[in-house]
Amino acid sequence: MGWGMPVRPPPPATPARVQALYELCKRTFPSPPSVVAAASSASPPPDHAIRAIYSLMDTITPADVGLRDGNPEEDGRGFGFFGSNLMRDSERVARWAQPITYLHVYECDAFSIGIFCLPTSAVIPLHDHPGMTVLSKLLYGSMHVKSYDWVEPAVLASSKSVRLCKLHKDDVLNAPCPTAILYPQSGGNIHCFTSVNSCAVLDVIAPPYSESAGRLCSYFHDYPFSSFSAGNAKSAHRPDSYAWLETINTPVNINMRPGMYTGPTVQEHLS
Whole-model pTM: value is 0.80
* Of 35-49, 94-108, 150-164, 257-271, minimum mean pLDDT range: 35-49
Please list, in sequence order, all residues whose beta carbon lies within 8 angstroms of the beta carbon of residue 146, skipping any fewer than 6 positions away.
Answer: 126, 167, 169, 170, 191, 192, 222
* Cα–Cα distance, 98 to 94 (Å, whole number): 8
How does DSSP classify residue 3?
T
* Averaged pLDDT for residues 117-133: 94
pLDDT in tens, 139-154: 999 999 999 999 999 9
CATH of domain 17-141+172-216+252-259: 2.60.120.10
Q: What was the pLDDT predicted at 33? A: 57
Sequence ranges of the domains in the chain: 17-141+172-216+252-259
Q: Are 141 and 120 in contact (CB under 8 A)?
A: no
